[in-house]
Amino acid sequence: MPSLDDRIAQFEKMCREDPDNDMAHFSLGGAYNQAGRFQDAADAYTKCFERNPGFSKAYQMAGAALMAVQDTDRAARILLDGYHIAHTKGDLMPKNAIAEMLTTLGIPLPKLETAGPAVPEGSFICQVTGKPGHQMKRPPFKGPVGAWIAENVSDETFQAWIGQGTKVINELRLDLSNDEHAEVYDQHMREYLGIDDALLAKLTGNH
């Protein structure tokens, strides 16, 4: 069964092969974060939002990683940028999380325009990428995690994961009929979609 180090190496390889892939950098940040390599995580998340400036979750995670290494000045700058991005995109989950961190740092929340972005009727904003897309017609699989994905992740983002997940299966030689291999695949999926340990525990009730 691949270790956390193996997953880190896998995501590092993906980033080298496709350096403009914002989600690959986001996934690498998640793996670094899990390993307690918070400075590396912050750098990976920064590369993510440099490639996709509307990716508010990446600002949130970069700020949290920088706070973990006591780099509060840089954390504050990134979180303030992310707060504006999340507001503009209508990303309520990252916006609220960033607001909590700014409050922890003792930084007043910026005054923002109350009007939201002009979004065409029927548009669905992916809470992972901050981009408009199409909402899934049904959860991709049963259970609370599948339901959360259907409510928060656009079909476009999930299809992008399917493509990335195929690389994971092939390069790690996973057999999804094997429970341990299936869990490795699921871990990669959660990292890709930004489902961290805290959110997973909340969804599954394993606090």
DSSP codes of every residue in 139-205: -SSSSHHHHHHHHHSBHHHHHHHHHHHHHHHHHHT--TTSHHHHHHHHHHHHHHHT--HHHHHHHHT
Q: How far apart are the first and last CA of the chain?
A: 26
Q: Answer yes or no: is pLDDT of 115 > 50.
A: no
Both tokens of residue 31? 């793996």
Q: What percent of the chain has pLDDT over 70?
A: 94
DSSP state, residue 109:
P
Rounded to 5 degrees, φ, ψ at 115 are -70, 135
Neighbours of 9 (CB within 10 A): 14
pLDDT tens-digit map of 155-184 = 999 998 999 899 888 877 889 998 888 988
Residue type, 175: D
Helix, strand and coil content of the chain, in percent to the nearest 5, comes to: 65, 5, 30
Give the containing element (helix H, strand E) for 141: none
CA dihedral 48, 99, 63, 130 (to 10 degrees): -10
Rounded to 5 degrees, φ, ψ at 195 are -90, 95
**Which of residues 82 and 114 earns the better pLDDT score?**
82
Distance (Å, whole) CA 105 – CA 82: 15
The count of residues in the chain is 207
Q: Answer yes or no: is pLDDT of 118 > 60.
A: no
Query: Can you name the residues that pair with 177 across neighbouring β-strands?
Result: none
Neighbours of 129 (CB within 10 A): 26
Domain boundaries, the chain: 4-204
CATH 1.25.40.10 applies to domain 4-204: yes
Mean pLDDT of the chain: 88
Is residue 51 a contact partner of residue 67, using CB atoms and an 8 Å limit?
A: no
Q: Answer yes or no: is pLDDT of 91 > 60.
A: yes
Furthest CA-CA distance within the chain = 52
How far, CA to CA in Å, does 76 sit from each of 79, 82, 102, 104, 142? 5, 10, 7, 10, 39
Distance (Å, whole) CA 68 – CA 75: 10
Report which listed range, 24-28, 102-106, 203-207, is most confident.
102-106
Rounded to 5 degrees, φ, ψ at 20 are -95, 5
